[in-house]
Structure 1
Amino acid sequence: MENIYTDAGSGDTLVFLHGFCESKQVWAGFVAPLQQRFRVITLDLPGHGDNTASSSPYTMESLADEVKQRLDELEVKKCLLVGHSMGGYVGMAFAEKYGHRLRGLCLFHSSALPDTEEKKASRTKSIDFVERHGVTSFVNPLIEPLFYEGNRDRLQQEIEMMKEIGRQTPQAAVVSALAAMRDRPNRAHVLREAKYPVQFIFGKDDTAVPLDKALEQCHLPDYGTALFLGKTGHMGMFERTAETQKALVKFAETVFELVS
């Protein structure tokens, strides 16, 4: 079971959730320097990475329950939760069910808003494609467009790593995640009602979380901060590592100072 998470460092706790067809591996380089100042935990969600738990149909709510169970096992009472993309959707479900466990929440290229009808239709088509053609044919063209075009040449190694992670994701997990993302509800009210600080990190050239959707939600929390990054797509941990690390550390220090 130890392989499904990493747990390093000491002090106040940061928990990182990966996105769709990803694993905790996407955070490895990003969190390394943070472990000098915080306790840092990265998790593999069910059906992803080393977490071979059943990838039968799940929801964002059931994934949030899995995260809560893991934090209980690790004796984490409260944390700053950082969710990338689908990990942010799980983070929003966690915030709705277990908000009392949060010191803060960071939506890292993610959203509290539901899919548009057009996006829902696209998810359904993707499910059909995966079931007919398999995961590799789905993943290979999926990854590169997540990066801003001007960053792709210098980040070919990271793009290939993500493709490999994606190809290793079981078909059942890919299908279940697509359906869970499609069917997730609007959780804007969770941001409005948040009793903890919320940070948003957005790429101005992110096609997965368009700028207009980012602007719709970043003003909702009583205490919120937003970082907008130009020439950045959906993968700020690779595209703008130093800037996103610095912003997250500053946010974490503020979060934990508020309760110290």
Structure 2
Amino acid sequence: MPNSTFTDAGSGDALVFLHGFAESKQVWTDFKKPLQNKFRTIALDLPGFGNNTAEVADYSMDTMANYVKQQLDKLGVKKCILIGHSMGGYVSMAFAEKYGAMLNGLCLFHSSALPDTDEKKDNRNKTIEFVEKHGVEKFMQSFVEPLFFADNRAKLRSKIDLMKKIGTVTPKESIVGGLAAMRDRPNKTEVLKKANYPVLFIFGKEDGAVPMDKALEQCHLPDNSMVYFLGQTGHMGMFERTYETRKAIEKFAETILG
């Protein structure tokens, strides 16, 4: 299925991976392969991204969460551990609020339950203006590299190039729609407080998108949480700290599922 909007491999309890903004399920390809020996691993292209190119009327996190629910229903998934990177984490929070009974656990992977600050909203608006004026390709040239910690960029050049390639083929409507949806997403910290399933937080200490103060503001909110802070790591732990982040998810899943 070369043009499929999802990948589904392995067997057993389900781990479901959601990619971030201007990404696709492809960011999880190598990351989740070793996990397929123990779990059923599913990665989805969110609406408007990757191979999921059908026209999108609404890019809101709630609408994307509904899409995830529909896909999991089609795949026969009753319960899962949901792992969301960045924007995928925002979608995961919306999913948790609506369909929490489906969750064995939740992982916010360089993501947040907090809304955008006024400053960040202003930056989103400026980015939308830039993309409208200059196009997606020019935006991706400046967007991707700062997601990686500076000292990791030289050795991860192939991953940076991959991210630029994925982002550049993303429709402009999806880039603009995704930015606006992230800007307008509400505060979901109450969802964390009410979570009756374990929550794993993975943070990069050098992540400009989810700064340490924001990480500390939310990681204590669930009744049952595990927190992993990674030094010399930016926003892209699946590439910058592949072994450590994969092991964290594996141990989290094993702790929950036995």
Normalised by the length of structure 1, the TM-score is 0.97
Which residue of 1 is the match for residue 80 of structure 2?
Answer: 79
Task: Return the offset for 1:25.
Answer: 0.3
Query: What runs of 5+ residues in structure 1 fail to find an aligned partner?
Result: none
Q: Does structure 1 conserve the Cα–Cα contact (< 8 Å) formed by 2:21 and 2:178?
A: yes
Look up the equivalent residue of 2:216 and give its one-letter code.
L
Look up the equivalent residue of 1:79 and give its one-letter code.
C
Task: Return the offset for 1:109.
Answer: 0.2
Task: Return the offset for 1:129.
Answer: 1.1
Q: Does structure 2 conserve the Cα–Cα contact (< 8 Å) formed by 1:204 and 1:230?
A: yes
- Deviation readout 1:171-230 (Å, 9 max, x if unpaired): 000111000000000000000000100000000000010010000000000000000000
Distance 1:79 1:53 in 2: 26
Distance 2:58 2:127 in 1: 16
- Deviation readout 1:92-150 (Å, 9 max, x if unpaired): 00000000110000000000000000000110111111111111111111000000001
After superposition, residues 85-234 of structure 1 pair within 5 angstroms as 85-234=86-235
Task: Return the offset for 1:55.
Answer: 2.8
Query: What runs of 5+ residues in structure 2 fail to find an aligned partner?
Result: none
Alignment size in residue pairs: 257
Report which stretch shifted further, 54-63 or 67-76: 54-63
Q: After the TM superposition, which segments of 4 or more aligned residues of structure 1 sit over 4 Å from their partners?
A: none
The sequence identity of aligned pairs, in percent, is: 65
Q: CA RMSD in A?
A: 0.9
Secondary structure at the residue paired with 2:4? helix
Q: Does structure 1 conserve the Cα–Cα contact (< 8 Å) formed by 2:47 and 2:59?
A: no
Which residue of 1 is the match for residue 24 of structure 2?
Answer: 23
Look up the equivalent residue of 1:132 and give its one-letter code.
K
Normalised by the length of structure 2, the TM-score is 0.98
Distance 1:58 1:202 in 2: 25
Q: Does structure 1 conserve the Cα–Cα contact (< 8 Å) formed by 2:13 and 2:40?
A: yes
